[in-house]
């Protein structure tokens, strides 16, 4: 179990710096990319649940991390891909992420990434869906990020389609999706639509897990289940 504060590692990229936080020991790496607006300590205890790998945590640009030269999913993917290559070299990596962070992980193409673990990746975002509530939330409704990434504008919404990332899937992926939230739970609904679920289920390089009662909050609802899947991916990737 690590002690003391995490080290902050800054990886320069042409798009702006990417920050990683880690108790690094030189082992293979499990990279975890948090979702949008995650708290600073999101997944801070993940290392306690992961065996055989060093956890490197990262936030999306602009959230507890420097902003890039622009805001788009493609730019985030390009920055993280450059940063992974620069900071980790040829160290083997399992790339994981939650929600928007899962989309970034899915887009990475660095050759040392051997497995993916994706939690609630919103490959298709349609007007009227779960993200629509952000417009009514004063914490988010003035942030251009939700328009650029989720298509939720100040007055109306436009679809966002990131399914091309799945079509270009490289390494095998483990994908966790939340089931209908339990009665009385604060968790919002899953952000993975029926078409995406069917495509994930049918994909030959995807292993799909349904987490009962979790809704979108798969990681806080079932941390041990998530860790078990991550450790399985690490064993597959690192031996």
∠ CA 119-123-126, rounded to 5°: 125
Burial of 138 (0-12, 13-18, 19+ CB in 10 A): exposed
Q: What is the dihedral of CA 194, 200, 201, 203, to 10 degrees?
A: 140
Residue 137: which pLDDT band, with cuts at 50, 70 and 90?
A: confident
Mean pLDDT in the chain?
Answer: 94
pTM of the model: 0.95
Q: What is the CA radius of gyration of the chain?
A: 17
| Both structure tokens of 67 | 């902003």
* pLDDT single digits (tens) 80-116: 999 999 999 999 999 999 999 999 999 999 999 999 9
Percent of the chain whose pLDDT exceeds 90:
82
Of 218 and 133, the structure prediction assigns the larger pLDDT to 218
Domains located in the chain, CATH noted: 7-123+162-238 (3.40.50.1820)
């Amino acid at each position: 179990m690590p002690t003391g504060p995490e080290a902050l590692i800054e990886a320069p990229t042409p798009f702006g710096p990417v920050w990683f936080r880690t108790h690094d020991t030189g082992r293979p790496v499990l990279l975890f990319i948090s979702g949008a607006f995650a708290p600073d300590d999101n997944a801070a205890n993940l290392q306690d649940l992961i065996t055989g790998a060093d956890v490197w945590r990262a936030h999306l640009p602009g959230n507890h991390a420097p902003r890039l030269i622009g805001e788009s999913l493609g730019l985030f993917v390009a920055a993280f891909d450059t940063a992974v290559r620069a900071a980790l070299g040829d160290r083997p990596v399992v790339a994981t992420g939650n929600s928007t962070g899962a989309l970034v992980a899915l887009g990475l193409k660095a050759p040392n990434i051997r497995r993916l673990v994706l939690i609630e990746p919103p490959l298709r975002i349609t007007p009227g869906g779960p993200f629509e509530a952000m417009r009514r939330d004063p914490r988010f409704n003035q942030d251009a990020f939700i328009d650029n990434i989720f298509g939720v504008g100040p007055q109306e919404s436009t679809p966002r389609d990131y399914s091309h990332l799945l079509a270009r899937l490289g390494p095998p992926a483990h994908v966790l999706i939340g089931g209908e939230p339990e009665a009385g739970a604060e968790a919002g609904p899953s952000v993975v639509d029926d078409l995406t679920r069917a495509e994930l289920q049918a994909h030959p390089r995807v292993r799909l897990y349904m987490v009962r009662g979790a809704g979108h909050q798969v990681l806080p609802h079932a941390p041990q289940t998530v860790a078990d899947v991550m450790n399985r991916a690490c064993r597959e990737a690192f031996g």
